Amino acid sequence: MRCAGAIIAMLALMPAAAEGPYIGDYDSELRTEDGEHVDCELMIERLEDLEVNTYMWLIWHNANDWDDLHEFLPMAAEAGITVWVYLVPHSETAFQDAKWPYSEPFKLDYVLWAQEIAKLSLEHENLIGWVIDDFWGNFNKDRFSIEYTREMVEAGRAINPELKFYPLMYYMQFGRRFAQSLAPLIDGCVAAYPRDREVIENALRYMNDDYAVPEGMGFIHPWDMPSQAGDHAFIVQEATVTDGERHSLTIAYSDDFDGPTEGYHVLQVRVNETVVWQEDVAGEDDGEVTVDLTEAIGDAEKVTVRLGVWDLQGVGNFGLMAGMTIETAEGLEMVTDVSDEEAWQRETRGSFVLEGADRAEGQGRFELPLIIMTAGQRVEFAQRNEEDALTERIAAKVAMALEFVADGRAEGVVTYCLDKTPGNPDLDAVAEIYGAFREEHMQDE
């Protein structure tokens, strides 16, 4: 390890911290042998190797992380690296599970966190923002309510108006409720694990308040609430069967869960009690389907149609927001507007709730910047992309995200937990992509 005097002398030759685009990395910090502290000198060395100009500093692994940040900031400034403080929410602390630590020292007092981060940012100009992980899953009246979110963001701005607050979001979480409730409170977003360009395009529509959502019905299971097998949320209507050889419904469906966990929540269409169509919420499966009801209807003149979500088995903590609309009904006389409360009865069991939604369109009230977070850690890459985590695939995902930055549509890219062990080929491959991008697009930084 190089001595402190040598590294500081070398770092003094580096440029000042960049204003953006932000090309960076998050977490996977290198620590001292006893694990009690971050090895700040080695971290700077590896971040320079990675060709980054920003780093998101997680405060969670050790009670000394906040103190170590104070040592890291001036070194990062000399290296031309901006820094974001990264905190965990209630759901990743002992508040929910005793085996998890808190972000120390201020734990769940996020107003105080905002104030202390803002004070520190006045001492170190390269500390430019803060992030809270998995924010949307904790954005509720008991944790981050609208009022509390506004209070904590404004607490930081009152001390440093330039301090940015970006929640960590997942791409399936961008929708009408985000645009109408959270977006007006924040300065931008970090959005994790894009599978393709399409999910980024969709997020940008909501972040730019430039979206259109048809009327429909929302089926919601809250986080932090257990369910039992057979819990459900359905809308129900009795339909009259008309003449014709074929009877079908064409349905548009979506949900906010894109992970691999399956066998719990499923979207369903039922005729009487017969399941005629089912789709697990696991995976990226939003779309449209035409469901043939002919066999289930048989010779009946009237049938009961149910649309909704059914739990195949109980689960301790699996929040969900799903939506369904009927595009067309063939061979049935029924009201296809699923938000019509007179035509459709509501049927729930367990913690499920139903919310009707009118057609909504963005009003162009805001245009929020986006930082794209790609999976740099191999385990996370394989899980989020459902393919083997090869070096070239990790680098290709970074290159795809950087295309949005080059076009001026994203503010930056950060890799999630890229392995910083010396000699790691993934870091070297990403460094090559970052270096080429900076040379072509950021020569004046």
Q: What is the DSSP letter of 181?
A: I
d(CA 257, CA 370): 20
Q: Which of 325, 343, 358 is the last residue of a domain?
A: 358
List, as one string, the DSSP characters of 303-332: EEEEEEEEESS-BSS--EEEEEEEEEEESE
Q: Is the pLDDT of residue 439 over 90?
A: yes
Query: Which tokens is 320 given?
Result: 């969900």
pLDDT tens across 7-28, in order? 333 333 333 334 669 999 999 9
| Residues 297, 172 within the same domain | no
CATH code of the domain covering residue 348: 2.60.120
Same domain as 229, residue 205: no
Judge if the upstream peptide bond of residue 105 is cis by omega within 30 degrees of 0.
Answer: yes
> Quick one: 324 and 401 in the same domain?
no
Q: What's the confidence (pLDDT) of residue 345?
A: 94
The tokens of 243 are what? 């003449």
My answer on whether 44 and 149 are in the same domain is yes
One domain, residues 258 and 235: yes
Cα–Cα distance between 105 and 280 in angstroms, integer? 41
311, 176: one domain: no
My answer on whether 278 and 238 are in the same domain is yes
User: Rounded to whole angstroms, what are the CA distances from 428 to 30, 49, 56?
Assistant: 16, 8, 19
Same domain, 173 and 235: no
Mean pLDDT value of segment 163-192: 93
Q: Where are the beta strands (DSSP E) in 27-97?
A: 54-58, 82-87
pLDDT in tens, 304-314: 999 999 999 99
CATH number at residue 55: 3.20.20.80
Residues 223 and 304 in one domain: yes
Tell me the residue range of the domain where 68 lies: 4-212+364-441
> End of a domain among 315, 341, 358?
358
d(CA 318, CA 261): 10
Q: Does 148 share its domain with 280? A: no
Decide: 127 and 117 in contact? Cβ < 8 Å: yes
Least confident of 163-167, 178-182, 212-216, 359-363: 212-216
Pick the range with the lowest mean pLDDT from 189-193, 199-203, 383-387: 383-387
Nearest to 192 by CA among 370, 432, 10, 406: 370
Domain match, 347 and 378 both:
no
Instruction: Note the pLDDT of residue 255.
Output: 83
Residue 384: per-residue pLDDT: 86
290 and 168 fall within a common domain:
no
Dihedral-angle region of residue 109 (phi above 0 means left; psi in -120 to 50 means alpha; beta otherwise): beta
End-to-end CA distance of the chain: 29
Specify the number of domains making up the chain. 2
3-state class (DSSP) for residue 232: strand
Confidence of residue 141 (pLDDT cuts 50, 70, 90): confident
Final residue belonging to a domain, choices 337, 358, 379: 358
What amino acid occupies position 59?
A: I
